[in-house]
Amino acid sequence: MIRDDQELQVTQQRMAYFQGLLAQLRVTARPEEFLSVAGGYRAEIERMQAEVLDYLTKHAGEPFSPVAHAAT
């Protein structure tokens, strides 16, 4: 869960890093291994994206309160 703008920035950087890894894997991984390797990165990117959206859709003046997400 993201609590402040610094954590937001770190999460966004981490997402960009994982997206870069996926882009590289699309080219370098063998087709038979790609889906199993890419799936973990995709799940982590989706989890982080949900956290980013939760943080960005709360007004800066609202008190911090963690939001639990159901697995999709």
Q: Is residue 16 in some structural domain?
A: no
Neighbours of 57 (CB within 10 A): 8
Q: Is residue 54 in some structural domain?
A: yes
Q: Is residue 47 in some structural domain?
A: yes
Q: Is residue 50 in some structural domain?
A: yes
Q: Which of 69, 37, 41 is nearest to 53 (CA)?
A: 69
Tens of pLDDT along the chain (72 residues) come to: 999 999 999 999 999 999 999 999 999 999 999 999 999 999 999 999 999 999 999 998 877 666 555 444
Name the pTM for this structure: 0.80
- Rounded distance between C-alpha atoms, residue 67 and residue 70, angstroms: 10
Given a contact cutoff of 8 angstroms between Cβ atoms, the answer to whether 67 and 1 are in contact is: yes
Q: Is residue 42 in some structural domain?
A: yes
- Rounded distance between C-alpha atoms, residue 66 and residue 6, angstroms: 16
What is the predicted pLDDT for the residue at 71? 47
Q: Is residue 49 in some structural domain?
A: yes
Total domain count, the chain: 1
Given a contact cutoff of 8 angstroms between Cβ atoms, the answer to whether 44 and 18 are in contact is: yes
Structural domain boundaries enclosing 48:
30-58
